[in-house]
């Protein structure tokens, strides 16, 4: 059986939300700070430290230096493999440099908790040319789609960045790989 996609990010800056079982389950929290920082800088360099969607470049007003954009981890959630039809995978499919408002549209439930729902909706409307009502409706649909998967537990797949699959990490070992494959990490063009 080939895997069936349960939740997949939209191709442009569509609204997206992460199921609860995957919260905090990501490369940033699994890697050492040094390893994650190296990845973040590589990803930012692909766009000259601009947001890949809206091209915004943030400047630190005190130092006048360019700030690094957020490094967004894009996930696809699937069920089933040839060997195990019930296998649930949370697969890192792309790393994308995003500004804060664009990033808030990809973590709508987190944005809600942080009081950033309106910022996310406004950004969706602005970037996509939607009305606020349309952006709100689409954002609410994205939240509902993720809530439907809240009861599931996911196997994290970070093979995009050359990490071992987390299910293969020995129990009790430091779950954060110290070394990662420095293969090129190029976000696919949007």
Q: Return the number of the residue (41 or 56) whose C-beta is nearest Zn ion.
A: 56
Pairing of strands 88-98, 155-157: parallel
Is 51 an interacting residue with respect to Zn ion (CB under 5 A)? yes
Long-range contacts of 87-90 (CB under 8 A, 24+ apart): 87/3, 87/155, 88/152, 88/153, 88/154, 88/155, 89/3, 89/154, 89/155, 89/157, 90/22, 90/25, 90/154, 90/155, 90/156, 90/157
Choose which of 17, 102, 121, 124 interacts with Zn ion (CB under 5 A): 102
Nearest approach, Cβ of residue 106 and Zn ion (Å): 11
C-alpha separations of 105 from 122, 129, 130, 158 in Å: 9, 15, 14, 22
Strand partners, 155: 89
The CA-CA-CA angle for residues 155, 156, 161, to 5°, reads: 150
Q: Return the number of the residue (49 or 53) whose C-beta is nearest Zn ion.
A: 53
Nearest approach, Cβ of residue 146 and Zn ion (Å): 21
Choose which of 44, 99, 121, 135 interacts with Zn ion (CB under 5 A): 99
Nearest approach, Cβ of residue 102 and Zn ion (Å): 3
Q: Return the number of the residue (37 or 58) whose C-beta is nearest Zn ion.
A: 58
Q: Return the number of the residue (15 or 19) whose C-beta is nearest Zn ion.
A: 15
Is 96 an interacting residue with respect to Zn ion (CB under 5 A)? no
Is 124 an interacting residue with respect to Zn ion (CB under 5 A)? no
Site residues for Zn ion per CB under 5 A: 51, 53-54, 56, 99, 102
């Amino acid at each position: 059986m080939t895997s069936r996609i349960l939740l997949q990010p939209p191709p442009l800056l569509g609204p997206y939300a992460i199921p609860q079982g995957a919260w905090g389950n990501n490369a940033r929290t699994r890697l050492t700070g040094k390893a994650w920082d190296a990845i973040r800088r590589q990803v930012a360099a692909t766009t000259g430290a601009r947001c890949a969607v809206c091209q915004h470049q943030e400047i630190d007003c005190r130092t006048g230096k360019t700030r690094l954009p957020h490094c967004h981890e894009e996930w696809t959630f699937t069920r089933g493999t040839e060997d195990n039809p019930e296998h649930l995978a949370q697969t890192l499919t792309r790393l994308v440099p995003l500004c804060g408002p664009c990033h808030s549209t990809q973590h709508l439930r987190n944005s809600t908790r942080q009081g950033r729902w309106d910022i996310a909706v406004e950004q969706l409307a602005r970037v996509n040319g939607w009305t606020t009502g349309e952006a709100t409706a689409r954002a609410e649909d994205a939240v509902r789609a993720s809530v439907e998967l809240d009861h599931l537990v996911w196997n994290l797949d970070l093979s995009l960045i050359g990490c071992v699959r987390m299910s293969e990490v020995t129990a009790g070992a430091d779950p954060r790989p110290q070394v990662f494959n420095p293969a090129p990490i190029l976000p696919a063009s949007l």
